[in-house]
Amino acid sequence: MGRGRGLRMYGDLAGWWPLISAPEDYAEEAGIFLGVLREALGRPPRTILELGSGGGNNASHMKRRARMTLVDRSPGMLRVSRRLNPGCEHVPGDMRRLRIGRTFDAVFAHDAAGYLRTDAAVRALARTAAAHLGPGGAALLVPDWTRESFRAEASLGGHDRAGRSLRYLAWTRDPDPGDSGYETAYAILLGSARGRVRTVAETHRLGLFPRSLWLRALREAGFLARAVPFRHSTFPPDSRREMFLGLKRPARWRVKRHGAGISIRDAAPADLPAMARIYDEQVLHGTATFDTEPKSRAAWRKWFGEHPRGRYPIIVAEEDGRVAGWARLQPWSGRCAYARSAENSVYVRKDARGRGVGTELLSDLLRRARAAGIAVVLARVAEGNPASLRLHEAAGFRPVGVMRRVGEKFGRILDVSLLQIHLDGGGG
């Protein structure tokens, strides 16, 4: 599937597509999609497979940054795209069943995904994406609407080009909120170079699924999945539109399921924006860190790339497709004699506190530390952070001292408590 079968817009009227939807109107959203993929991969994607590429409008911008392979099942839309993107590979195919025998850095599907009308079709799209990605590759699925974000709307549009003109009215509505679909009815006026005007009307029926289905389909296909807010200058301020990002799980990544719907896994570059937001809340408003200024995205990527993982993991807690918290181990000291000791840090999103996220993160971190042969884990907890003291003491940490008046934040002089746990049975 891609564009709806039997629809004139993608059939005998496909040649009018640039007058319905002009390539120049896609620059902003193409930049958004490339930015999300770049953050997910930790680098710009070099190769992208676009499923349901239609007339190639997004590709006309994205091809400047990556090598694009464009797939659509409409021969007419592929002809339009070939004229616009002559240097791109074009492949006829159905996004539910396509298999072209090679992998890409990223797989992308935009509004054509809306023509998927069953749960099984959404899952098939996720499997197609997985089949064309190597470990660590990124999939970005961007249906126009989910059940949660949907709003009825009417819009006008159209363009003039090469002596021809087109104007349309589109009315998007959900006539039956009890089912899993919605419809957009189009009234289209087509003006020929000779001045004649004819009208076409047709209704497009599309799928409307909860965000949980998109996330579940990606996870079932072998992705680490999360929802990403979709912000565009043409959307109203209260828009709830989202994109669904999947990172294909390398074999080395471990995912451990915990209670209350919490999953613990290794952090990935795609998690850095969410991790930064959680951390920055404490930078600006708390004492869980003595940093006083948020770090740049480049600084976060540098830190993540240079962190000595393996023995010192960085992990995230995921809840309902969102990063609810993160934690790390780091060397207690760079001196070799301290190699048996490590320090931990745990950060939980403000609205996720009190649900056991910190407990699960710390428990998993200690399990990994023990497996890595670390004998002692230490924690520094600043004054004004009683929840962190309770978290560590509940996990078996014992206080070993207080460093008096060593920090200053928000105009206050702060003590820092030092706690430790012995994983090797020593220390009493």
CATH for 89: 3.40.50.150
Of residues 348, 363, 333, the one with CA closest to residue 288: 348
Separation in Å, CA 357 to CA 269, 311, 316, 327: 21, 22, 10, 10
Q: How far apart are CA 150 and CA 334, in angstroms?
A: 53
Residue 104 amino acid letter: F
Give CA–CA dist 167/165, Å, rounded: 7
Amino acid at 238: D
Does one domain contain both 105 and 243? yes
- Bridge partner list, 297: none
Task: Point out which residues pair with 41 in neighbouring strands.
Answer: none
Domain of 182, CATH number, reads: 2.20.25.110
In the sheet that 67-72 helps form, which strands lie side by side, from edge to edge?
A: 89-92, 67-72, 47-51, 104-109, 133-141, 242-248, 223-229
pLDDT for 5: 65
Phi first, then psi: give them for residue 26, nearest 5 degrees. Answer: -100, 0
- Cα-only R_g, the chain: 26
Beta-bridge partners for 329: 344
pLDDT at res. 106: 97
Let me know whether 91 and 16 are in one domain: yes
pLDDT of residue 322: 87
* Crossing angle of helices 272-285 and 297-306, rounded to 10°: 110
pLDDT tens, N- to C-terminus, the chain (428 residues): 455 568 999 999 999 999 999 999 999 999 999 999 998 888 899 999 999 999 999 999 999 999 999 999 999 999 999 999 999 999 999 999 999 999 999 999 999 999 999 999 999 999 999 999 988 899 999 999 999 999 999 999 999 998 999 999 999 999 999 999 999 999 999 999 888 999 999 999 999 999 999 998 998 898 888 888 999 999 999 999 999 999 887 654 444 555 556 888 999 998 999 999 999 999 999 888 999 999 999 999 999 998 887 789 999 998 877 899 999 999 999 898 999 999 999 999 999 888 889 989 998 999 889 888 899 999 999 998 888 998 899 888 999 999 999 999 999 999 999 999 998 766 65
Same domain, residue pair 119 and 262: no
Is the residue at 66 inside a domain?
A: yes
**CA–CA dist 209, 215 (Å, integer):** 11
89 and 26 in one domain?
yes
Q: Are 158 and 217 in a shared domain? A: no
Residue 398 and residue 285 share a domain? yes
Q: Do 231 and 336 lie in a common domain?
A: no
Short-list 348, 401, 346, CA closest to 369: 346
- What's the whole-model pTM score? 0.65
For residue 120, which amino acid is it?
Answer: A
Overall residue count recorded for the chain in this entry: 428
Residue whose token pair is 């910190």: 358
Q: What is the pLDDT of residues 411-427, one digit of tens each?
A: 999 999 999 999 876 66
Per-residue confidence (pLDDT) for residue 252, from 0 to 100: 46
- Among 362, 363, 376, 387, smallest CA distance to 288 is for 387
Kindly state whether residues 201 and 218 are assigned to the same domain.
no
How high is the pLDDT of residue 287?
87
Predicted local distance difference test score (pLDDT) of residue 6 = 82
For the chain, how long is the longest CA-to-CA vector?
93
Q: How far apart are alpha carbons 184 and 203 in whole angstroms?
A: 6
Q: Which amino acid is at 63?
A: K
CA distance 176 to 183: 10
Is the Cα dihedral 295, 241, 142, 223 positive or negative?
positive
Domain containing 195 equals 153-207
User: Do residues 287 and 189 both lie within one domain?
Assistant: no
Instruction: Give the C-alpha separation, 27 to 44, whole Å.
Output: 17
Helix residue ranges per DSSP H, 286-374:
297-306, 357-371
pLDDT of residue 1: 46
Query: Angle formed by the axes of helices 386-394 and 357-371, to 10°?
Result: 50
Same domain assignment for residues 304 and 240: no
- The structural domain count of the chain equals 3
